[in-house]
């Protein structure tokens, strides 16, 4: 036996004996100290260990045994007395242990938990007194238990395949300037910090793979470089003087249930095409911001919180960075079931080239600037998420970026819910956009918007398009806004279809200084102004709209607008059905103006145009009223049952009134003013009154 022990000492390799106990009992391998092989068993509950042994429930597994030649020794907390050693030896059946070895050798892991495909070959207990002697002997396959506080004045460089574990009962603290981990290394249940109060520790992961950092507190940062594959789980990374977690040069990281807080840089930074998945983690109160991803990065943030950072919550590549890394692919950022909140800056921002941003089932709120800010040629999706109470817009898209916003809520942002500018494009489907001091949806500067089936309410303005914006507004409900439900100014190529605009303090739909607009099949009612206002616009079509119970007119056309109005219903409006003024010259055909409190249709100013085949009835004043200097064509209209005159002409207007049917109106059927130069031709009238000069021609009924 002495010869055997001598050979063992010369080889500097202790026997490889691993005993695994259930639950919270941690078993340490055989140590070779002073030619005596000693087994140490540590448990967080010595009482539990005693009870297990007394009830014969203590079971052991033997892994990779090189020999069982020396006695077992029990060395637990305050249990170094000889009586305990003797008692423990008596209660262990060593023969049973050896018999169980045949089964245990084939077991893939301890307690059925995988450990890089293998178990530790040796376990070593290290304290401050034994660290200098034992750690230099550590090599691949060792499990090192750190008990108490161990200080290294130089950097620690661990070989591959090492497991560093804190003592579960006494705790383990490792103080060093930096610690480097290589392949298959594992840190568990340790507190890692710098030896100096004025500096932070660095955990370096240079090109390694299958590294795990679990249940650790790191007062510093984690830096992975190269093709590193690193899991950081249930850990706390605190107070780093730079970035909390940094991946570079195609590193691959995963953060699970971690806290990254109080770093002077950003909480998580990826550069040079690195990848990271963040699960159920908290990135909080970092000075540089929450997360920063440069071009080529791939990041997935799931069920996590990025909040209270002094910079933006999530930042993707900027255009300035793109010029240096054109060979890298675009970034891909996914935020799922997470909260981006209370950051000083934007919640999520990207202005890269071709970057892909996906935000789903997430909350972006209370950030000092925008909830989401897009630039460059970023392509973003916001789905089933909320952007609320941010300092500016809920979502802003500029440059040539594009966004799909679907089934989301944008509420209470200080400016607009969504702002598009600089040729950006967005599709919004089935969203709730409300409680904004500016517009709910706003498109400007040649941007394009497709707003479909959204609810836009209680904003300063509902949907606003201006300064060259274009797009489709279809199937939306715009209501209770302080301005108009839908407002378009200086825009072109517009399609406004199937919307419902009601209860707005100004107009239901307002179009001015625009061109090529189709407004069809909309319903506007109970608005404080007009149902639909068209001003200074050309080549517009208003078709099939229902404009009712508005406090002004159903439709007003002014400022020289040219438009086609057909098959619209203007009813029960307070001031009248249709009002045309200025130098406008619309084509008004096949419309209904009925039961309005004022006139059915009013043509004033210097307006021209044609008004044909309209049904004008049961209005509170005249059916058709021509005034000022207007000179329209009124033909083939059916004007009946109005409380005032059927057709009333005043001022110095010069209408051509031909082939109309004017019957049973409350006043006279046709009333021509003293200074008017109206021309009447082949009208069917019950009565006509001509004041002063006679009209040029009057056809009998």
* 509 contact partners, CB below 8 Å, separation of at least 6: 484, 485, 486, 487, 496, 499, 501, 519, 522, 524, 531, 532, 533
3-state secondary structure 584-634: CCCEEECCEEECCCCCCEEECCCCCCEEECCEEECCCCCCEEECCCCCCEE
> Sorting pLDDT into bands at 50, 70 and 90, what band is 122?
low
Distance between CA 333 and CA 356 in Å, rounded?
6
- In terms of phi and psi (left: phi > 0; alpha: psi -120 to 50; beta: otherwise), the region of 324 is alpha
Whether 34 is covered by a domain: the verdict is yes
In this prediction, residue 196 carries a pLDDT of: 67
pLDDT at 326 (0 to 100): 55
Using one digit for the tens of pLDDT, what is the confidence trace for 162-208?
Answer: 888 888 888 889 888 888 888 888 899 899 988 666 567 788 888 78
Instruction: Of 2-6, 17-21, 31-35, 125-129, give the range with the top mean pLDDT.
Output: 125-129
> Cα dist. 163→65, 139, 144, 152 in Å?
20, 10, 6, 18
DSSP state of 110: B
More reliable by pLDDT, 103 or 510: 510
Band (68; pLDDT cuts 50, 70, 90): very low
pLDDT at residue 121 is higher than 90: no
pLDDT at residue 20 tops 80? no
Is position 15 within any domain?
Answer: yes
Q: Residue 287: phi, psi to the nearest 5?
A: -70, -40
Query: In whole angstroms, what is the distance from residue 695 CA to residue 676 CA?
Result: 8
Mean pLDDT of the chain: 80
pLDDT digits (tens, 9 = 90+) for 648-697: 999 999 999 999 999 889 878 888 888 888 999 888 887 667 654 444 44
**Stretch 269-281: mean pLDDT, rounded?**
92
C-alpha span between 375 and 424 (Å, rounded): 8
Q: Which residue has the higher pLDDT, 598 or 694?
A: 598
> Average of pLDDT values for 118-122?
47
Answer yes or no: is pLDDT of 6 > 60: no
Confidence of residue 228 (pLDDT cuts 50, 70, 90): confident
pLDDT score of 502: 96
pLDDT class of 102 with cuts at 50, 70, 90: very low
Q: What is the distance between the alpha carbons of residues 426 and 105, in angstroms, rounded to a whole number?
A: 62
The encoded tokens of residue 253 equal 């990281």
Between 563 and 207, name the one with better pLDDT: 563
Domain-located, residue 211:
no
Q: How far is CA 403 from CA 253, 388, 400, in A?
A: 28, 18, 10
What number is the average pLDDT over the span 60-68? Answer: 31
Consecutive H or E run containing 544:
none
Helix (H) or strand (E) holding 133: helix 131-134
Looking at residue 24, what is its pLDDT?
A: 33
**pLDDT the model gives residue 125:** 81
pLDDT, residue 208, reads: 80
Tens digit of pLDDT for each residue in 445-473? 899 999 999 999 999 999 999 988 999 99
Q: Cβ distance 139 to 116 under 8 Å?
A: no
Asked whether residue 3 carries a pLDDT value surpassing 90, the answer given is no
- Beta-bridge partner residues of 434: 411, 457
Q: Could you give the angle at the alpha carbon of 413 between the alpha carbons of 479 and 335, nearest 5°?
A: 110
What is the per-residue pLDDT across 333-379, written as a single tens digit (0 to 9) for each? Answer: 999 999 999 999 999 999 888 889 999 999 999 999 999 999 999 99
Residue 109 lies in a domain: yes
70 domain residue, yes or no: yes
Between helix 82-91 and helix 46-54 the angle, nearest 10°, is 40
**What would the mean pLDDT of 550-564 be, rounded to a whole number?**
94
If pLDDT is split at 50, 70 and 90, which confidence band does 134 have? confident
Q: What is the CA radius of gyration of the chain?
A: 41
Contact, 607 vs 583, CB < 8 A? yes
pLDDT of residue 154: 80
Cβ(662)–Cβ(640) below 8 Å: yes
Length of the chain: 701
* pLDDT of amino acid 199: 64
Which pLDDT does position 106 carry in this prediction?
34
**Six-digit token pair at 366?**
């209370």
CA distance 298 to 198: 34
Q: Is residue 665 part of a domain?
A: no
Quote the percentage of the chain above a pLDDT of 70: 78
Return the pLDDT at 569. Answer: 97
Cβ pair 332, 298 in contact under 8 A: yes
CB 333 within 8 A of CB 360: no
The pLDDT assigned to 133 comes to 73
572 band by pLDDT with thresholds 50, 70 and 90? very high
| Range 20-29 average pLDDT | 34
Q: Are 651 and 627 in contact (CB under 8 A)?
A: yes
| Model pLDDT, residue 691 | 55
pLDDT of residue 217: 93
Q: Is the pLDDT of residue 212 over 70?
A: yes
Please count the CA atoms within 13 angstroms of the CA of 695 that sit on its side-chain side.
Answer: 24
Helix, strand, coil: what percent of the chain each, to 5? Answer: 5, 45, 50
Tell me the residue range of the domain where 114 lies: 2-119
Helix (H) or strand (E) holding 51: helix 46-54
pTM of the model: 0.79
Residue 28 falls inside a structural domain: yes
- Indicate the pLDDT class of residue 40, thresholds 50, 70 and 90: very low
Report the Cα 654 to chain-centroid distance in Å: 60
Element (H, E) at 24: none
Q: For residue 47, is pLDDT > 90?
A: no
Number of domains in the chain: 1
| Exposure letters 205-216 (e unless 16+ CB within 10 A, then b) | beebbbbbbbeb
156 within some domain: no
pLDDT 10s digits, 616-652? 999 999 999 999 999 999 999 999 999 999 999 999 9
Q: Spell out a b/e string for 233-252, using b for 16 or more CB atoms within 10 Å of the CB, else e.
A: bbbbbbbbebbbbbbbebbb
């Amino acid at each position: 036996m002495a010869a055997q022990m001598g050979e063992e000492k010369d080889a500097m390799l202790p026997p490889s004996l691993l005993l695994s106990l259930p639950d919270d009992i941690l078993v340490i391998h055989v140590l070779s100290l002073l030619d005596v092989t000693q087994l140490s068993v540590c448990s967080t509950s010595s009482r539990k260990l005693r009870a297990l042994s007394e009830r014969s429930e203590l079971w052991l597994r033997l892994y990779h045994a090189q020999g069982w030649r020396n006695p077992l020794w029990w060395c637990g907390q305050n249990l170094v007395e000889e009586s305990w050693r003797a008692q423990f030896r008596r209660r262990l059946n060593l023969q049973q242990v050896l018999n169980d070895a045949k089964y245990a050798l084939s077991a893939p892991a301890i307690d059925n938990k995988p450990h890089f495909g293998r178990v530790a070959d040796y376990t070593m207990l290290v304290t401050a007194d034994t660290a200098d002697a034992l750690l230099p002997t550590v090599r691949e396959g060792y499990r090192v238990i750190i008990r108490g506080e161990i200080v290294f004045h130089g950097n620690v460089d661990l070989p591959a395949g090492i497991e560093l574990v804190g003592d579960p009962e006494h705790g383990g603290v490792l103080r060093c300037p930096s610690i480097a981990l290589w392949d298959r290394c594992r840190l568990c249940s340790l507190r890692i910090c710098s030896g100096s109060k004025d500096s932070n520790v660095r955990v370096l992961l240079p090109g390694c793979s299958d590294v795990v950092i679990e249940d650790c507190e790191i007062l510093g940062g984690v830096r992975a470089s190269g093709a590193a594959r690193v899991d950081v789980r249930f850990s706390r990374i605190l107070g780093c003087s730079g970035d909390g977690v940094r991946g570079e040069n195609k590193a691959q990281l995963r953060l699970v249930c971690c806290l990254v807080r109080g770093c002077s840089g950003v909480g998580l930074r990826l550069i040079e095409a690195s990848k990271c998945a963040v699960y159920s983690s908290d990135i909080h109160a970092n000075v540089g911001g929450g997360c920063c991803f440069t071009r080529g990065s791939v990041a997935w943030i799931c069920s996590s919180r990025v909040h209270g950072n002094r910079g933006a919550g999530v930042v993707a590549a900027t255009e300035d960075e793109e010029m240096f890394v054109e060979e890298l692919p675009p970034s891909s950022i996914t935020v799922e079931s997470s909260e981006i909140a209370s950051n000083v800056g934007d919640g999520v921002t990207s202005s890269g080239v071709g970057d892909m941003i996906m935000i789903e089932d997430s909350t972006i709120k209370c950030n000092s600037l925008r909830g989401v800010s897009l630039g460059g040629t970023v392509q973003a999706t916001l789905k089933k998420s909320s952007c609320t109470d941010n300092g500016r817009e809920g979502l802003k898209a500029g440059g040539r970026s594009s966004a799909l916003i679907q089934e989301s809520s944008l509420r209470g942002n200080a400016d607009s819910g969504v702002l598009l500018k600089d040729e950006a494009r967005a599709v919004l489907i089935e969203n709730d956009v409300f409680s904004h001091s500016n517009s709910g949806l706003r498109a400007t500067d040649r941007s394009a918007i497709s707003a479909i089936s959204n609810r836009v309410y209680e904003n300063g303005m509902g949907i606003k398009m201006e300064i060259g914006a274009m797009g489709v507004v279809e199937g939306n409900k715009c209501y209770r806004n302080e301005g108009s439900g839908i407002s378009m100014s200086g825009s072109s190529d517009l399609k406004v279809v199937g919307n419902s605009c009601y209860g707005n303090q100004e107009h239901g739909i307002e179009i001015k200084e625009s061109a090529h607009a189709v407004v069809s099949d909309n319903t506007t009612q109970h608005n404080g102004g007009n149902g639909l206002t068209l001003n200074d616009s050309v080549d517009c079509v208003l078709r099939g709209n229902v404009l009712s119970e508005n406090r002004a007119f159903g439709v007003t056309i002014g400022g020289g607008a040219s438009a086609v109005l057909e098959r619209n219903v203007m009813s029960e409006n307070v001031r009248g059905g249709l009002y045309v003024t200025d130098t406008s010259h619309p084509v008004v055909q096949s419309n209904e103006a009925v039961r309005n409190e004022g006139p059915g249709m009013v043509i004033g100013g210097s307006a021209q145009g044609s008004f044909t085949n309209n049904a004008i009835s049961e209005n509170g004043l005249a059916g058709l009223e021509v005034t000022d200097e207007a000179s329209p064509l009124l033909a083939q209209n059916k004007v009946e049952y109005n409380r005032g005159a059927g057709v009333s002409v005043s001022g110095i207007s010069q209408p051509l009134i031909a082939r109309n049917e004017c019957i049973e109106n409350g006043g006279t059927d046709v009333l021509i003013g003293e200074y008017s130069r109206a021309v009447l031709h082949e009208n069917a009238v019950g009565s006509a009154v001509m004041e002063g000069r006679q009209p040029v021609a009057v056809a009998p009924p």
